[in-house]
């Protein structure tokens, strides 16, 4: 069952070929058997999932209307709230925190009869590109167990890649859905900013954060987008524009489409990634698309811009973890000031502390104009550069990540780690929809990803172009041999 797409599991359930309990039991058993070595899940909802499955089987038997995601087993990144369950953000600060409400995404998934299997590992507070910053657990790349799954939604990508759920959810602030999707050989979509409600997602960089789905096939991404891409009055940045048809646009052809390629910006690409990308471009051409050179050289400043804006926003967002209202409180604290200082000292890991201090620095009086304001202005220029590029093309193609999965511990230098997001950050700064779709392997069998970026609100176009690419060049094999049966 784990080799089937979400859509085929859903259809099998509708046709009475599979029961929801059988599907759920299969995945829960697999998690029990395999997740000890993958480490994708932080929490597994054994009872909750089975209870929901029993309800669904009953609902089907009684002939009641079933949701768009009925019987689809789904995992959520552990920074998305599920009422009554823990939301740890993979931080020691929140190990005992129980969400008092459902995220809007959670509510919509349950409303559409999805089965929530559990919560997945991440870099602490979604800060990282390898999952090595999780304070709670190590997650392995299912293709190469000694390698990282990418990050920060590394638990979500590993869960899909090893067949421990059909669809998972991540959050993407600078590439945190797309990069782990690429490193784990699956599809990951960062929708247009505001397309999916952020209500109930623990905030990191509020002007950049976006929730999105990860799955084995583009079709499954389309299936789930129809359920979650909705306006939400509880998120003031939620888009009001109508939801596009995602499944309905899948058949779109690339014939005559113009694909923009920022050749200059990509000139530093290593030879392996370059070879892979060139093959992907050939496939796009064979599908009838025309390649158009575009200028996105300003993206050479994207990482620097991002590390000012994202850390500034993180330093304000994470101020709420004060040891007073929730999370841990240091036992040593004797004064109120010490409650804040000691609790943050004990609760946060090194990377989180580093980013809060950086954010505090770029917002500090005397430096704010030089750093934060400058970065917001460069961001405006980057947005303009994209807009200009989209006058000449329909979609932009780049690699998702400069490297395929790398061994744990291999990248120690923070700047080198931040460079892993060099191709993904632009879409967050400009609030564009972007998808990573598998584009083959390197000689060691490590997956690569092709990133397709669209103009704002062109989520359905991005998904349909990725679908055409996937049909032409499907990842073979699409499951790591170790977890194929």
Partner 1 sequence: MPKSHINEASVKKLSELARIRLNDEEVRSLLPDIQKIVDYVGLLDEVDTSDLSPYAHMPEQSIHTLRDDVPETAISQKELLENAPDHIGSMIRVPQVLTNTPSS
Structure-block tokens of residue 313: 């926003």
DSSP label at residue 179: H
CB 409 within 8 A of CB 132: yes
Question: With respect to partner 1, which residue has the nearer C-beta, 326 or 441?
Answer: 326
Question: With respect to partner 1, which residue has the nearer C-beta, 89 or 182?
Answer: 89
Work out the burial of residue 331: count CB atoms within 10 Å of its CB; fewer than 13 is exposed, 13-18 middle, 19 or more buried. Answer: exposed
Q: Is 76 one of the binding residues for partner 1 (CB under 8 A)?
A: no
CB 187 within 8 A of CB 466: yes
Distances in whole angstroms, Cα of residue 229 to Cα of each of 245, 330, 478 = 10, 40, 27
Q: Is 251 one of the binding residues for partner 1 (CB under 8 A)?
A: no
Residues in region 360-389 near partner 1 by CB under 8 A: 360-362, 364, 366-367, 369-371, 373-381, 383
Using CB under 8 A as the criterion, what x/- string covers residues 285-304 for binding partner 1?
Answer: -------------x--x--x
Instruction: Give the nearest distance from C-beta 312 to partner 1 in angstroms.
Output: 11
**Which one of 152, 153, 162, 401 is the catalytic residue?**
152
CA 415 to chain centre: 21
Residues in region 302-331 near partner 1 by CB under 8 A: 304-305, 307-308, 315, 319, 322-329
Instruction: Give the nearest distance from C-beta 376 to partner 1 in angstroms.
Output: 5
Using CB under 8 A as the criterion, what x/- string covers residues 91-110 for binding partner 1?
Answer: -----xxx-xx---------
Q: Looking at 225, 356, 393, 403, which residue binds partner 1 (CB under 8 A)? A: 356
What's the CA gap between 90 and 134, in Å, rounded?
A: 5
Instruction: Give the nearest distance from C-beta 386 to partner 1 in angstroms.
Output: 11
Question: With respect to partner 1, which residue has the nearer C-beta, 105 or 182?
Answer: 105
> Near partner 1 by CB under 8 A, which window of 27-35, 136-144, 250-258, 339-347?
339-347
Instruction: Give the nearest distance from C-beta 222 to partner 1 in angstroms.
Output: 24
Say whether 238 is catalytic.
Answer: no
Distances in whole angstroms, Cα of residue 85 to Cα of each of 21, 200, 205 = 21, 13, 24
Looking only at the bridges linking them, the beta strands covering 210-215 and 290-293 are unpaired
Say whether 153 is catalytic.
Answer: no
Structure-block tokens of residue 53: 């499955």
Q: Looking at 64, 256, 271, 334, which residue binds partner 1 (CB under 8 A)? A: 334
Instruction: Give the nearest distance from C-beta 301 to partner 1 in angstroms.
Output: 6
Say whether 77 is catalytic.
Answer: yes
DSSP code string of 169-217: EEEESSSTTHHHHHHTTSEEEEPPTTSS--TTBPPSSTTT-EEEEEESS
3-state SS class at 359: helix
Q: Is 341 one of the binding residues for partner 1 (CB under 8 A)?
A: yes
Residue 29's contacts (CB-CB under 8 Å, 6 or more residues apart) are none
Q: Is 338 one of the binding residues for partner 1 (CB under 8 A)?
A: yes
Instruction: Give the nearest distance from C-beta 202 to partner 1 in angstroms.
Output: 13
Q: Looking at 14, 61, 111, 233, which residue binds partner 1 (CB under 8 A)? A: 233
What's the CA gap between 420 and 408, in Å, rounded?
A: 14
User: Pseudo-torsion of CA 299, 300, 304, 305, nearest 10°?
Assistant: -20
Which residues are marked as active site? 77, 152, 176
């Amino acid at each position: 069952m784990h080799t089937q797409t979400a859509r085929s599991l859903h259809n099998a359930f509708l046709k009475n070929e599979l029961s929801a309990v059988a599907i759920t039991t299969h995945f829960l058993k697999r998690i029990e058997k395999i997740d000890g070595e993958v480490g994708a899940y932080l929490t597994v909802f054994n009872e909750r999932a089975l209870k929901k499955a029993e309800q669904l089987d009953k609902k089907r038997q009684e002939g009641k209307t079933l949701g768009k995601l009925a019987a689809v087993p789904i995992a959520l990144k552990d920074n998305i709230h599920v009422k009554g369950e823990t939301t740890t953000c993979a931080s020691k600060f929140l190990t005992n925190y129980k969400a008092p409400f459902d995220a809007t995404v959670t509510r919509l998934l349950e409303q559409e009869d999805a089965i929530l299997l559990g919560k997945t590992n991440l870099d602490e507070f979604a800060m990282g590109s390898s999952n090595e910053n999780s304070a709670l657990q190590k997650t392995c790349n299912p293709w190469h167990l000694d390698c990282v799954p990418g990050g920060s939604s590394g638990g979500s990508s590993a869960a899909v890649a090893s067949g421990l759920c059909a669809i998972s959810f991540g959050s993407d602030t600078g590439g945190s859905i797309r990069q782990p999707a690429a490193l784990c050989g699956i599809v990951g979509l960062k929708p247009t900013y505001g397309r999916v409600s952020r209500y109930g997602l623990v905030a990191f960089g509020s002007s950049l954060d976006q929730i999105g789905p990860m799955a084995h096939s583009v079709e499954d991404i389309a299936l789930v987008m129809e359920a979650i891409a909705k306006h939400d009055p509880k998120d003031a940045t939620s888009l009001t524009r109508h939801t596009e048809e995602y499944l309905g646009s899948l058949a779109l052809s690339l014939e005559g489409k113009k694909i923009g390629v920022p050749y200059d910006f990509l000139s530093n690409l290593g030879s392996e990634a370059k070879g892979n990308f060139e093959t992907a471009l050939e496939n796009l051409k064979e599908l009838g698309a025309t390649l158009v050179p575009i200028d996105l050289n300003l993206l050479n400043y994207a990482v620097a811009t991002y590390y000012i804006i994202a850390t500034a926003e993180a330093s304000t967002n994470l101020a709420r973890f004060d040891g007073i209202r929730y999370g841990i409180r240091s036992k040593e604290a004797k004064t109120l000031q010490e409650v804040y200082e000691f609790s943050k000292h004990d609760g946060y890991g090194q990377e989180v502390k580093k980013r809060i201090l950086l954010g505090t620095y770029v917002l500090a009086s005397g430096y704010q104009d030089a750093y934060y304001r400058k970065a917001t202005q460069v961001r405006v220029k980057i947005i303009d550069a994209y807009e200009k590029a989209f006058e000449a093309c329909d979609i932009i193609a780049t690699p998702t990540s400069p490297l395929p999965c790398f061994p744990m511990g291999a990248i120690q230098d923070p700047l080198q780690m931040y460079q892993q997001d060099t191709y993904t950050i632009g879409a967050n700064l400009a609030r564009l929809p972007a998808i990573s779709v598998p584009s083959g392997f390197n000689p060691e069998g490590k997956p690569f990803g092709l990133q397709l970026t669209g103009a704002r609100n062109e989520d359905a176009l991005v998904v349909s172009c990725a679908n055409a690419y996937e049909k032409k060049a499907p990842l073979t094999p699409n499951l790591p041999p170790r977890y194929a049966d």
